[in-house]
Amino acid sequence: MDRNFMDEVIEEARQFTEKEIRPFAGDFEQNEQVPRELINKMAKRKYLAAPFPEEYGGLGLDPLYYGYLTEEIGKGCASTRALMTVHTSLVGETLLKWGTKEQKERYLRPMASGEKIAAFALSEPEVGTDAGSVKTSYIKEGNKYILNGKKKWITFGNLADIFIIIASEGKNISAFIAERDFGGITTKPIKGMMAGRAAYIAEIEINNLEIPEENLLGKIGGGFTFICNTALDYGRYSVAWAATAVAGAAVEEMVTYARHRTQFDQKIYKFQTIREIIANATTKYLTSKALCINAGNLRIQGSDEKVFQTTLAKYYSSKIAMEVTTDAIQVFGGNGCTSEYPVERLFREAKIFEIIEGTSQIQQEIISRYALSNFYRKKAKAQ
């Protein structure tokens, strides 16, 4: 893919975000929905299929530039960006990797055009981090599968037309492509969310949902090892950039505010304590972005390190997003505690990144195991 073309895509996305998304993010949250009109505009620009090959209606962006695009959209609105995580990464990229030719032909193009919105249905009322213990069940009857169960915290679940549903039969965990039009799927919006209020987060009731056997994704029993692990890896990469985006937006807000706010007859950026906060926040943001860039480049190369470095980037960026948005509120003072300014929303959104696509504690376990394996220095034998 031509680098100049990809640079143009990112610049266009930056301008699009500044005009169509960032000024209205607070309204989206208040109305508890990303407007369908905006989703259609994003689809027209092929943002919903940014990493898809051109043959499926995509832009063909490589992982690094897809990350840059995620950051630009994420700076404007976390809920709008969340559509790219679930629709484009969790579902779209997973279909690209594991879907049959017929499944790709049937679903990727309408997803690219925005005609169909997709969601990934894994978590349940009693199952979050322990993704291998899903209670939603399936049985085989003739040439179809029958699914029953409940899903919860499904981002864009209340809007979605297509779902990847993870279900179990005994110890076998499998993945299925379901359509709302199949019947047997009822969604209910979850209200009162701390963040992600515009992201159509839903509970899903699955009642005798009939799935044709050609809609099995991957193999029977491969739903966790292959489909979930692949999808969550794509999701972690997207969320790493998303958290970096929120940190970047918080730095922009605190710098802009510090250059305009006057206290004691001078702009507050002239106070050393404020400059220290800005310096530390900028360092954290750029370090987070560097980890994301490294993960993106490794994904392009197909390196064996790509999954671990993605985990590292997701852990660090989510931690940094929380720290930098906290600093931003400190710079804003009392004004930072009201919805009149965006840092209050950024602070709430940042916390979610420490939970979704694997909690920070789970990422710490993975990172610690890596360290214990790779950084152990055996003592030399005494002479």
Tell me which residues are annotated as active site. Answer: 357
Predicted confidence at residue 129, as pLDDT, reads: 64
Report if residue 133 sits inside a domain: yes
In a domain, 382, yes or no: no
- How many domains does the structure of the chain reveal? 3
Choose the weakest-confidence range: 93-107, 131-145, 247-261.
131-145
One-letter amino acid for residue 221 of the chain:
G
How many other C-beta atoms lie within 10 A of the C-beta of residue 221?
15
Q: Strand pairing partners for 141?
A: 144
Specify the pLDDT at position 359. 87
Cβ atoms within 10 A of the Cβ of 294, count? 17
List % helix, strand, coil for the chain (3-state, nearest 5): 60, 15, 25
**Is the domain of 67 the same as that of 202?**
no
Residues 41 and 93 placed together within one structural domain of the fold: yes
pLDDT digits (tens, 9 = 90+) for 92-130: 999 999 999 999 999 999 999 999 999 999 999 988 767
Q: Which of 65, 84, 115 is the last residue of a domain?
A: 115
In a domain, 380, yes or no: no
Q: Is residue 185 part of a domain?
A: yes
What secondary structure letter does DSSP report for 280? Answer: H
My answer on whether 168 and 286 are in the same domain is no
- DSSP 3-state assignment of 37? helix
Positive/negative CA dihedral, 250, 255, 260, 265: positive
User: For the residues 132-149, what does the mean pLDDT come to?
Assistant: 94
147 and 246 assigned to the same domain: no
274 within domain boundaries: yes
Helix 272-301 crosses helix 63-76 at what angle (to 10 degrees)? 140
Q: State whether 301 and 246 are in the same domain.
A: yes
Structure tokens at 293: 């860039």
Residue 215: what residue type?
A: N
- What is the rounded average pLDDT for all residues in the chain? 95
C-alpha dihedral over 327, 32, 180, 169, to 10 degrees? 40
| Average pLDDT for 231-245 | 96
Distance, in Å, from the CA atom of 31 to the CA atom of 298, rounded to the nearest integer, reads 39
| Domain final position from 220, 252, 282 | 220
Helix (H) or strand (E) holding 64: helix 63-76
Last residue of a domain, one of 164, 189, 220: 220
**Domain boundaries, position 87:** 3-115
pLDDT digits (tens, 9 = 90+) for 165-193: 999 998 899 999 999 999 999 999 999 99
Asked whether residue 16 is domain-assigned, the answer is yes
Q: Are residues 310 and 367 in the same domain?
A: yes
Each residue's pLDDT tens digit, 289-339: 999 999 999 999 999 999 999 999 999 999 999 999 999 999 999 999 999
Do residues 109 and 127 both lie within one domain?
A: no
pTM of the model: 0.94
Does any domain span residue 147? yes
- Please tell me the distance from the alpha carbon of residue 326 to that of residue 350, in angstroms, as a whole number: 9
Q: Which of 73, 55, 99 is nearest to 9 (CA)?
A: 73
Q: How many degrees, rounded to 5, is the angle at CA 197 between CA 49 and CA 74? A: 40
Q: What is the 3-state secondary structure (H, E, C) of 144-203?
A: EEEEEEEEEEECCCCCCCEEEEEEEECCEEEEEEEEHHHCCEEEEECCCCCCCCCCCCEE
Domain assignment of residue 351, yes or no? yes
Q: What is the CA radius of gyration of the chain?
A: 22
| First and final C-alpha spacing in the chain | 58
